[in-house]
Structure 1
């Protein structure tokens, strides 16, 4: 009978390749010493790699590294091995921990229960399970023959009675029974097959479902063999049920399914699988189209190219590994979201919480109502724009004349999401004119050698506490251009550009190193190694553009969306308060956190939108080149991300979304008094209006016919991009009347 603590007895129940067993084996090689002291991640990675090299050397079966990392364990680096180890460490997080010094160890409460013989038992347990895993890979069933039998006979079978037909028996009973014999298809996995009820189905199927996710093919996520209507192909797919979503209407259902596909592809590797839309089940649309939208990944097999049983089962095993991993991470997500609502003071685990576009729309509408009830009104789709801008990049600038509610917008937006000054999730930092270097914001080391944290550092330290990592934190830099932004904010601007993923977190380079933090006075609760900008912090600067302030450089403008507050309607009165005013609701940081850091992360999913957006930016860049004001890849990527989020959540019309990006990312770069500036403004105006409106030489002499229709805010002439056209008309008029123009002139 096992003497292991209960927490260690079923740790290999769900296997993700052989990695979990190998990891535990490598973590216990030196017995009690390893268990008590842990093993540094570099040493553990070396042991992990050596473990596979030794097995390979003596001819034992092994799992090769993921194909995107390398071909063999002999050629990959320790850094690459550490990347591979992230998944098994994450899968074993209930019993393992990695501390600030990158030492991996069993959790202390488990270590206190173990003695030497139990550690030996744990190592033997890992070895047995690893051997059983490799033995299971060689298990075989006549899957190839069964699939071909369905494909060769189904068209004829549909002309015959379904009752007790051999093909009905094959799909409903024989193949599911064979699949259940495989050692890796056990509870909670269940297998069902169908050729229709009473009448033959157009698309027969054999599904493998995790009972913890779904027991029906009408909803949830599952694996399924789907046969094309003409029986030319069968697809092994990681799929979502479409019947229940379609009850909400086709448009809403398709958007929901597409969003789910994006989210799931982010949390499981799906190595070597197809992730495109080329799954053709029927020519008649209907459910075939819906399955296209809901497919997360697939393998395709045709009659002519049906692989061997060994390859079919290897593909099936890979698909089940990914499905099992998704089930584990989904459970962690559900637990974390429950904790967020029920135990707000408890330790919270950051996980991807799957937001669909309907929830985002509802949340944005709640924010707008919350703000309106408190007596503040903002024009058009400004709140939607503000949300999309923060989602695109956690640094946004609100610019305009004094008294338009810029600071109030930040405060109310944060409050609507449960972030207040009282719970320290909102901080207002007034910028002083004498700030000249980053120490005014970040902090400094005094003469006694102690680190004195600045106002921004205090918020970052709070946001990085383990219990707070899933809460959003808002920092409002009020009147941030009273001092030169490039001077006091330079470190932050540079570090924001170092964002990268580590597991499911987005991290940056260090702002304040550990050795400096340790000199800071604290009450003993500080548990942070190096200070970074965590992914739950959002920076918003407010600026008034007048003679007392400093202009922005392109370095700043490239890194932010600039929302303008210059068009004011004084007759826009506050909403009357009702008895039941809209209350704030705490939301996870994932509501605002970026999903993409590099365009390659999004390109395959949104290729058409990225190409069309980039095509327009190429036109704009050709115009801007005359001033050397053209944009680079950073701006292109940010605009594409904004457009992708907007399409996903359906907050703005596509043209309106691109219009905001022209206004916020392109036009702030233009200023000057030369004819070149005028030619660029004219060309951009023509681009935004969508028509030429006269020759360039004539318009250079007098461009009033371009800007006169836009002088009244109450009138909006027809234009492809009206917001940008209005701003360009204003800039063009100022250039003709004053001899100088800038986006920032009020």
Structure 2
């Protein structure tokens, strides 16, 4: 089937956007009404909306005739009817006026070819319009149409491929939200979130726009969402409602009844012009299909073979967003809205794995757009370390961005010093007991809380929000002296009624005054508090005991790339976004919490590796116990679940952060242990015996570099090489000597 020759020729004439927009407006009106007789006013209204939108968005666009107006915003429907006489005349062979100009229709020569020719005609018109605007010098900053077409065409094949780190995941989680965020009608209250599944490909992938004043999850409340049909035959733009929470609270039958009642109310109260208000939304034959039918208020279907132009897609979104914002404004004025933070805590308890990757992408973008560059994988490693245990140490030479990383990571999650969710505590060299952190009772018996106690108290009152405490230069004083109480209390974590609780850090019996007992009595470390220490590795600081090292992941900052420069265009990235504590909270406290059919193979594999390493470490009495075994397994399980790093990359981090910090000394045994660990990092071909007596040849030429380049665990191999060199040159080595 081909287009009528006269149409192809006409579209090539001067100022062709008028004619193509007219054809598009007629086809869109027909698709809505399914009537061949089209009301002239309906067509004219669509025509005017198209130009007003482009003009209002700052896009280059054909101007209205000068004898009518200088801008589209001042045009009225009567003027548009007059303007359209010219393009209608130019299209007279295919566009016909009827009933004294009250109606428009296509000529019989068009209808006789069937409805399919209209779809072909609209596709052609959209392609020509996009090309025309590019020639005008106004290339869109992004193409929503191209993204939707790409998803519809590639998703079926993607479902046969590995889920983790797939480019479609990045498109939904990061690229599309960032692009939509740039649209002028998207307010600061709108959260944009996309998903292609939770560890496995979703049956119906989606991209939602939620006003955070009424909802922060697709499980409840009202929002706008693009829904893709299971067979990728179409994508729907919808005004929708969350199904999960209503069904959980009311049961399926009553939940459906509640949703249908809300649908009826919204359809009666708001004008969804151009959108269908029925249950004819067909996404899947499975149970989800019924959910969408009862929850959808209004929808517009875009067939995969006939996706409209970018201008039309964005105009549709703006129209629906205007209605949505009117609904939100009314709801805020008339309804009793639940505390968004409370709802965030209760509803997002089951944060899906896909959301984790999305949060991390946003955090990385935020840090990058602040002008800071960190090595690949560092943000993922930092996240996994915090998730494993809420105590992390960042070590390295001064000025490498350790404190800045903590601050920016927290800031991206909406935790700042201004709102009390980020607290920086510089450690003083004279600290010798916990009083500076926890507090003390003065001579009158009045309790004077330390800074940490103040944070713990506030965090316990806001359990849905994460709180970060940064102990800056924490090894200027002996950590065991001022921090031992906190470390011991952390080890008492246990599950109580679905939450993580510890023993009290302040017992009521230790407080004298009734007021203090009421406020601080039996205060513990809440599950939403995260402790991060920075340490400088030089001769002015104190070493760490195994008690400290066992309880922390130690992330080293020694690779410095001075040639990393900030981008010229910064400040356009994502804004800080309040992130639920569930994002960081540990899911496992004991190995029994994690051990199951899906995890036992990885746990046994990691345990076997640690047993081999323990066989090496026993010679210097540095072998690890159950605490480190569990922590390593938890880290590896989280990584596997979220698909952040390869298994070898993740274990490399754990070897570097949990094993090597325990090694220091000057004996021959230390040398042998480091060489054996080097063999574990490289491969069995590494000849340990060659270097047991004299390691000089190991540092000759490019031998060491070659070893590291081929290593299975290159980060650990590089650190071991540094420790061996220190041992060879100084007769003593330690992880903490840079």
With over 3 angstroms needed to count, the CA separation of the structure-2 counterparts of 1:675 and 1:358, relative to structure 1, is: same
- The 5 Å alignment of 1:506-585 reads 506-516=500-510, 519=513, 529-578=521-570, 580-585=572-577
What corresponds to 1:194 in structure 2? none
Matched residues, number: 429
Aligned mate of 1:249, from 156, 159, 163: 159
Establish whether residue 683 from structure 1 lines up as the match of residue 699 from structure 2.
no
User: CA–CA distance in 2 between the matches of 1:709 and 1:536?
Assistant: 50
Task: Give 1:477 deviation, angstroms.
Answer: 0.3
Task: Give 1:578 deviation, angstroms.
Answer: 3.8
SS at 2:350's partner residue? coil
Cα shift readout 1:217-236 (whole Å, capped 9, x = no counterpart):
xxxxxxxxxxxxxxxxxxxx
Aligned mate of 2:492, from 456, 477, 498: 498
What corresponds to 2:604 in structure 1? 611
5+ residue gaps in structure 1? 1-244, 261-286, 288-322
Establish whether residue 672 from structure 1 lines up as the match of residue 683 from structure 2.
no
User: CA–CA distance in 1 between the matches of 2:642 and 2:251?
Assistant: 25
Q: Is the 8 Å Cα contact of residues 620 and 684 (structure 1) preserved in structure 2? A: yes
Cα shift readout 1:684-703 (whole Å, capped 9, x = no counterpart):
0011011332242x311223
What corresponds to 2:653 in structure 1? 660
Establish whether residue 377 from structure 1 lines up as the match of residue 373 from structure 2.
yes
What corresponds to 1:476 in structure 2? 470
User: CA–CA distance in 2 between the matches of 1:645 and 1:353?
Assistant: 17
SS at 1:550's partner residue? coil
Q: Is the 8 Å Cα contact of residues 628 and 658 (structure 2) preserved in structure 1? A: yes
With over 3 angstroms needed to count, the CA separation of the structure-2 counterparts of 1:481 and 1:618, relative to structure 1, is: same
Task: Give 1:581 deviation, angstroms.
Answer: 3.0
Establish whether residue 446 from structure 1 lines up as the match of residue 442 from structure 2.
yes
What corresponds to 2:431 in structure 1? 435
Task: Give 1:514 deviation, angstroms.
Answer: 3.3
Cα shift readout 1:464-508 (whole Å, capped 9, x = no counterpart):
11xx11000000000000000001000001000000010121000
Q: Is the 8 Å Cα contact of residues 464 and 528 (structure 1) preserved in structure 2? A: no
User: CA–CA distance in 2 between the matches of 1:571 and 1:714?
Assistant: 24
Cα shift readout 1:97-143 (whole Å, capped 9, x = no counterpart):
xxxxxxxxxxxxxxxxxxxxxxxxxxxxxxxxxxxxxxxxxxxxxxx
User: CA–CA distance in 1 between the matches of 2:388 and 2:341?
Assistant: 29
Q: Is the 8 Å Cα contact of residues 707 and 732 (structure 1) preserved in structure 2? A: no
Q: Is the 8 Å Cα contact of residues 371 and 570 (structure 2) preserved in structure 1? A: no
Establish whether residue 694 from structure 1 lines up as the match of residue 604 from structure 2.
no
With over 3 angstroms needed to count, the CA separation of the structure-2 counterparts of 1:575 and 1:342, relative to structure 1, is: farther
Task: Give 1:683 deviation, angstroms.
Answer: 0.2
Q: Is the 8 Å Cα contact of residues 444 and 453 (structure 1) preserved in structure 2? A: yes
Q: Is the 8 Å Cα contact of residues 341 and 464 (structure 2) preserved in structure 1? A: no
User: CA–CA distance in 2 between the matches of 1:613 and 1:258?
Assistant: 27
With over 3 angstroms needed to count, the CA separation of the structure-2 counterparts of 1:626 and 1:721, relative to structure 1, is: same
Aligned mate of 2:364, from 336, 361, 368: 368
User: CA–CA distance in 1 between the matches of 2:691 and 2:501?
Assistant: 50
Deviates more, 1:621-630 or 1:433-442: 433-442
With over 3 angstroms needed to count, the CA separation of the structure-2 counterparts of 1:579 and 1:634, relative to structure 1, is: closer
TM-score, structure 1 normalization: 0.54
User: CA–CA distance in 1 between the matches of 2:412 and 2:405?
Assistant: 10
SS at 1:358's partner residue? helix
Q: Is the 8 Å Cα contact of residues 710 and 726 (structure 1) preserved in structure 2? A: no
What corresponds to 1:745 in structure 2? 737
SS at 2:710's partner residue? coil
Q: Is the 8 Å Cα contact of residues 478 and 541 (structure 1) preserved in structure 2? A: yes
- The 5 Å alignment of 1:385-424 reads 385-424=381-420
User: CA–CA distance in 2 between the matches of 1:395 and 1:708?
Assistant: 40
User: CA–CA distance in 1 between the matches of 2:532 and 2:202?
Assistant: 28
User: CA–CA distance in 2 between the matches of 1:631 and 1:371?
Assistant: 35
Task: Give 1:705 deviation, angstroms.
Answer: 4.6
Which runs of at least 4 in structure 1 moved beyond 4 Å after TM superposition?
245-248, 257-260, 323-328, 344-352, 515-518, 526-529, 704-716
User: CA–CA distance in 1 between the matches of 2:537 and 2:202?
Assistant: 40
Q: Is the 8 Å Cα contact of residues 429 and 478 (structure 1) preserved in structure 2? A: yes
Task: Give 1:259 deviation, angstroms.
Answer: 12
With over 3 angstroms needed to count, the CA separation of the structure-2 counterparts of 1:710 and 1:515, relative to structure 1, is: farther
User: CA–CA distance in 2 between the matches of 1:326 and 1:436?
Assistant: 56
User: CA–CA distance in 2 between the matches of 1:515 and 1:627?
Assistant: 44
Cα shift readout 1:639-686 (whole Å, capped 9, x = no counterpart):
000000000000001000000000000000000000000000000001
- The 5 Å alignment of 1:2-81 reads none
> What do you get for the CA RMSD once the two structures are aligned?
3.3
Q: Is the 8 Å Cα contact of residues 489 and 503 (structure 2) preserved in structure 1? A: yes
With over 3 angstroms needed to count, the CA separation of the structure-2 counterparts of 1:745 and 1:693, relative to structure 1, is: same
User: CA–CA distance in 2 between the matches of 1:703 and 1:469?
Assistant: 54
User: CA–CA distance in 1 between the matches of 2:735 and 2:523?
Assistant: 36
Task: Give 1:256 deviation, angstroms.
Answer: 2.8
What corresponds to 1:278 in structure 2? none
Task: Give 1:580 deviation, angstroms.
Answer: 2.4
User: CA–CA distance in 2 between the matches of 1:640 and 1:472?
Assistant: 24
